[in-house]
């Protein structure tokens, strides 16, 4: 166990270094992403707003409320116009346009070039967020861009994400570079989830306690999907028409999965408080999702209630971490899983709080606060990787301990051959089949005299030397057992008399060689064997007794020849 502990500590340190390096590299790459690739331009200011009967000049989209004083409400419609700048020669000019809970029609010099979910706005159905790459004419410079906005949510934002103009390849590089951390984190978590969920499910029936690893693997995948959708990058890899619906569905599944993980770590069937909180949180999360899909109340509206569920779940996790710290009732693997879940939830809550404060103009948007979720995801997945290692080492240690105890239960301590219990187990298993087998009974001659004359150490050497000969000669053909002080047994399935006679002769020849090399005492063995077919309709006890009877018949002759008194 010390060796395993040392390996675990060394690997923990190595994995910690690796994950810290990955975090630092990805975070720096994300912060230092080149936002000036090629010729691109954020269309932030110099917009004209037409709202109700008013007209507002030089509107800054990132500070929409500050520059207009207008508080947008659900059901409002307004128009934004601007003149597109000249970026010089632009191959495949394109516009990145992000919408957040509003539908729109987009016009290029009066000609409609794009539309997004206006029909859903008219039917009062859910409209999420989306980021689209919209191609423009090569003669875009100086043309008027008009956006007709249909607002689908109250108090939606204090500022819009400004459209970005540039070549398609430059915009693609810019967009991916600015979201490098969430992209890599989300993809990595999904791949990890699929691989390890598959592995753990395969082993679930053999190792039921692995269930918490199944849940944590699924949670990794859910968080990965949520990250890709939350940062509007899922559409880079697949056609996600309802990206926001998928985002919120994944988000609302985090709390139920977290309770399942906590419950699988330590069974709480009789913990009334835990059961009430778990059932309530799981039911409400699933109920919110159902209401959304029935177009009754949408998931984004229910976020404040979901934050309360997250907070309660965080408190529950803290309580169980404290109880474990006090009582030490969890295994190292379970402890890692519980603490990593707590850290991940904290980062998610920090991101949500940051988003709310930015939306209310309390704090200024920053790349650091916008990356809380992927950082928390990386920490969680690192903890899961280390957790798998801890679980494997724990399982290996248990397996080794079990093998050691099994060996002690079924092995002879002096010779390491199978003992009487093991021999009876093997013979009983053979009795349950149609296999014909042979039991060879062997008994060393003169062991008591050697013990009396030369001491028990010499007697032990006699036994161990004989055990080595048995292993060498018989082990390829059957199981060698020591069932008493000088009594040995060989169990040989599917053997013939000729084969057994040859092996007995070889064994006695090996003893003769030892007698020549080490002549301080005489070594010899009496043998007798019987086959299963010698005792039809009988069990192994009858076969063994017949073999033993034949062995003692030979032993009497050998004792008479060697002048050894026969034991009664």
pLDDT digits (tens, 9 = 90+) for 307-337: 888 888 888 878 877 777 777 767 776 777 7
Mean pLDDT of 174-191: 84
Mean pLDDT of 161-190: 85
Torsions phi, psi of 440, nearest 5? -110, 115
pTM of the model: 0.64
**Is it the case that residue 440 has pLDDT exceeding 90?**
yes
Q: What fold does the segment set 420-562 form as a domain?
A: Alpha-Beta Plaits (3.30.70)
The 10s digit of each residue's pLDDT in 18-77 is 555 565 555 555 555 544 455 788 888 888 989 888 888 888 887 777 778 788 888 889
DSSP string, 281-343: HHHHHHHHHHHHHTTSS-TTTTHHHHHHHHHHHHHHHHHHHHHHHHH--S-HHHHHHHHHHHH
Q: Which CATH class is domain 2-32+179-402?
A: mainly alpha
Calculate the CA dihedral of residues 535, 537, 539, 540 and round it to 10 degrees: 30
What is the residue-averaged pLDDT of the chain? 80
pLDDT at 384: 76
Cα dihedral sign for 60, 64, 69, 73? positive
**Is it the case that residue 527 has pLDDT exceeding 90?**
yes
Mean pLDDT of 134-147: 88
pLDDT at 11: 53
pLDDT at 158: 52
Strand 479-482 relative to strand 487-493, pairing: antiparallel
Dist. CA 85–CA 530, nearest whole Å: 102
Dist. CA 166–CA 266, nearest whole Å: 55
pLDDT at 18: 59
CA-closest candidate to residue 444, choices 459, 427, 426: 459
pLDDT at 381: 77
The 10s digit of each residue's pLDDT in 331-382 is 776 777 777 778 877 877 777 777 666 555 554 445 555 677 777 777 787 7
Question: Is 42-176 CATH 2.60.120.10?
Answer: no
pLDDT at 26: 56
pLDDT at 568: 42
**Is it the case that residue 196 has pLDDT exceeding 90?**
no
pLDDT at 1: 45
Cα dihedral sign for 263, 266, 267, 272? negative
The 10s digit of each residue's pLDDT in 392-407 is 666 666 666 666 666 6
Percent of the chain with pLDDT over 70: 81
Residue 530, beta-bridge partner list: 439
Q: Mean pLDDT: which of 245-254, 297-306, 554-563 is highest?
A: 245-254
**Is it the case that residue 114 has pLDDT exceeding 60?**
yes
With tokens 């923990």, the residue in question is 12
Question: Domain coordinates of the chain in residue numbers?
Answer: 2-32+179-402, 42-176, 420-562
Dist. CA 481–CA 458, nearest whole Å: 21
Confidence of residue 470 (pLDDT cuts 50, 70, 90): very high
The interaxial angle of helices 303-327 and 243-265, nearest 10 deg, is 20
The interaxial angle of helices 332-359 and 211-230, nearest 10 deg, is 20
Dist. CA 45–CA 81, nearest whole Å: 11
Confidence of residue 385 (pLDDT cuts 50, 70, 90): confident
> Which carries the bigger pLDDT value, residue 63 or residue 450?
450
Give Cα separations from 189 to 146, 219, 228, 241, 266 (angstroms): 39, 9, 10, 22, 25
The 10s digit of each residue's pLDDT in 480-494 is 999 888 899 999 998
pLDDT at 396: 60
Confidence of residue 141 (pLDDT cuts 50, 70, 90): confident
């Amino acid at each position: 166990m010390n060796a395993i502990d040392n390996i675990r500590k060394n690997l923990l340190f190595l994995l910690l270094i690796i994950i810290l390096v990955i975090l630092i590299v990805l975070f720096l790459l994300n912060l230092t992403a080149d936002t000036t690739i090629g010729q691109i331009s954020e269309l932030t200011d110099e917009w004209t707003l037409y709202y109700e009967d008013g007209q507002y000049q030089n509107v800054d989209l990132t500070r929409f409320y500050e520059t207009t004083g207008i508080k947008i409400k659900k059901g409002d419609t307004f128009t934004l116009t601007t003149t597109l700048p000249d970026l010089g020669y632009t191959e495949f000019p394109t516009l990145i346009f992000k919408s957040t809970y509003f539908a729109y029609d987009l016009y290029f010099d009066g000609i409609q070039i794009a539309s997004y979910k206006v029909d859903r706005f008219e039917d009062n159905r859910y409209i999420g967020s989306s980021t689209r790459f919209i191609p423009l004419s090569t003669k875009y410079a100086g043309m008027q861009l008009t956006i007709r906005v249909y607002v689908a949510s109250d108090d939606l934002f204090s500022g819009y994400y400004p459209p970005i103009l540039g070549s398609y390849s430059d915009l693609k590089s810019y967009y991916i570079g600015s979201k490098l951390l969430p992209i890599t984190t989300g993809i990595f978590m999904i791949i990890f989830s699929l691989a390890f969920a598959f592995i753990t499910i395969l082993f679930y029936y053999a190792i039921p306690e692995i269930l918490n690893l199944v849940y944590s693997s699924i949670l990794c995948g859910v968080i990965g999907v949520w990250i890709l959708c939350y940062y509007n990058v899922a559409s880079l890899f697949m056609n996600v028409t309802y990206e926001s619906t998928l985002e919120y569905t994944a988000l609302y599944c985090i709390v139920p999965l977290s309770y399942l993980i906590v419950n699988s770590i330590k069974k709480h069937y009789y913990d009334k408080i835990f059961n009430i909180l778990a059932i309530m949180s799981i039911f409400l999360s699933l109920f919110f999702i159902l209401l959304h899909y029935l177009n009754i109340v949408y998931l984004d509206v229910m976020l404040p209630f979901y934050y309360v569920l997250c907070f309660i779940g965080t408190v529950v996790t803290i309580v169980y971490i404290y109880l474990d710290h006090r009582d030490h009732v969890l295994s190292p693997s379970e402890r890692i899983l519980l603490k990593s879940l707590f850290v991940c939830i904290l980062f998610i809550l920090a991101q949500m709080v940051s988003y709310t404060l930015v939306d209310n103009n309390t704090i200024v948007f920053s790349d650091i606060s916008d990356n809380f979720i992927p950082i928390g995801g990386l920490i969680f997945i690192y903890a899961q990787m280390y957790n798998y290692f801890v679980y494997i080492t724990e399982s290996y240690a248990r397996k080794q301990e079990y093998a050691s105890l099994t060996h002690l239960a079924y092995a002879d301590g002096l010779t390491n051959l199978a003992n009487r219990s093991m021999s009876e187990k093997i013979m009983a298993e053979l009795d349950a089949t149609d296999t014909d087998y042979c039991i060879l009974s062997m008994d060393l001659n003169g062991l008591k005299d050697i013990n009396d004359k030369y001491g028990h150490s010499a007697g032990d050497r006699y036994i161990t030397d004989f055990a080595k000969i048995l292993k060498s000669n018989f082990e390829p053909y059957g199981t060698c057992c020591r069932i008493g002080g000088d009594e040995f047994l060989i169990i040989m399935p599917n053997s013939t008399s000729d084969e057994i006679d040859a092996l007995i002769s070889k064994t006695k020849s090996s003893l003769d060689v030892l007698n020549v090399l080490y002549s301080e005492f005489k070594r010899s063995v009496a043998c007798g064997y019987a086959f299963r077919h010698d005792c039809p309709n009988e069990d192994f006890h009858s076969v063994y007794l017949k073999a033993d009877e034949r062995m003692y018949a030979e032993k009497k002759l050998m004792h008479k020849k060697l002048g050894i008194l026969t034991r009664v």
